[in-house]
Structure 1
Amino acid sequence: MRGWKSLIVFLVLVTVAALVGATAAPDAWFAALQKPAFNPPNWVFGPAWTLLYGLMAIAAWRVYRVAGSGLAIGLWLVQLVVNAIWSPLFFGLHRIDLALVDIVVLDLLVLVTIVRFFRHDRLAGWLMLPYLAWIAFATLLNAAIWQLNS
């Protein structure tokens, strides 16, 4: 199942991660937090994540087609779980500190995943770079919010 049908599996996986994250959406608690000047407007997040999840799915699918379900795909799955945990920590439990730990781990996992992806499919590695850039920015944002509200 390394053809087009397997792409559907990866799209479903990122959709599940997105839905887990959506279970804990911004609320009045989040609105009341102090935020840094570089905090983007809320409407930016939905389109950004939609694009990033699509790129992530295509990247994983490309690697899966050439390498199967080895270490690279295993890392991709682990980072997807760590990604899905962030929103419930931050928005659901209001644990800015634990969310910061989670996203730093996510940064490292995504970096290692990208390195592994480049070994199998250069385009797949490139497709993951916008995701890394976005979560690096999100890490700074998370850290700033934690600092402003601690």
Structure 2
Amino acid sequence: MNKYAKIAIMVAICLAVGYLSGIVTRDSITTWYTTIEKPNFNPPNWIFAPVWTTLYILMGIGAGLVWHKVKKKKEEVSTALLFFFIQLGLNATWSLLFFGLKNPLLALIEIIILLLMIYETFIKFSKLNKFAGYTFIPYLLWVSFAMILNGAIWWLNR
């Protein structure tokens, strides 16, 4: 399989996870989320879909580029992709905890673990393909902001 097919598969997987996470969040955004107190730096709701779509595409590109290295560095690629899929699962789990269970504290604890896994994935990807690592920088920044936002929401609504 060529590099572009691997990238396309990984982008599709990431977008599918994003879509499924969106299903979990959709109802809560128009009901529960409107009723809780949020900090003044809370972005408008419309910004989340394009930001996450972009981040999922970048993640998929990075993962596809790493996957493409599997013949040359099988063990390192396998480990990097394991971290990738763990962080992707944690990404989806955050939506379930925050919006599905409406539990900002549990989501805050989980997003800290998620951020650590994203960082480890970034490190592993960077060692295999610099550009693949770079695709994770916006994701690291956004999830760092999301962690602060999550913490502020928990604090304001405890």
- Note whether the superposition's TM-score is higher than 0.5: yes
1:1-150 to 2 correspondences below 5 Å = 1-25=1-25, 26-67=29-70, 68=74, 69-150=77-158
Gaps of 5+ in 2: none
> Which TM-score applies when normalising by structure 2?
0.90
For residue 99 of structure 1, report the CA deviation from its aligned partner.
Answer: 0.8
Amino acid at match of 2:60: A
Amino acid at match of 2:117: L
Amino acid at match of 2:64: W
Size of the aligned set, in residue pairs, is 150
> Which TM-score applies when normalising by structure 1?
0.95
For residue 82 of structure 1, report the CA deviation from its aligned partner.
Answer: 0.3
Structure 1 consecutive aligned stretches of length 4 or more whose deviation exceeds 3 Å = none
CA RMSD of aligned residues (A): 1.2
Q: Deviations over 1:74-99 (max 9, x none)?
A: 10011000001111111111111111
* In 1, Cα distance between equivalents of 2:106 and 2:17: 18
* In 2, Cα distance between equivalents of 1:37 and 1:124: 34
Amino acid at match of 1:112: E
Q: Deviations over 1:31-89 (max 9, x none)?
A: 01100011000011011001100000001111111135510111001100000111111
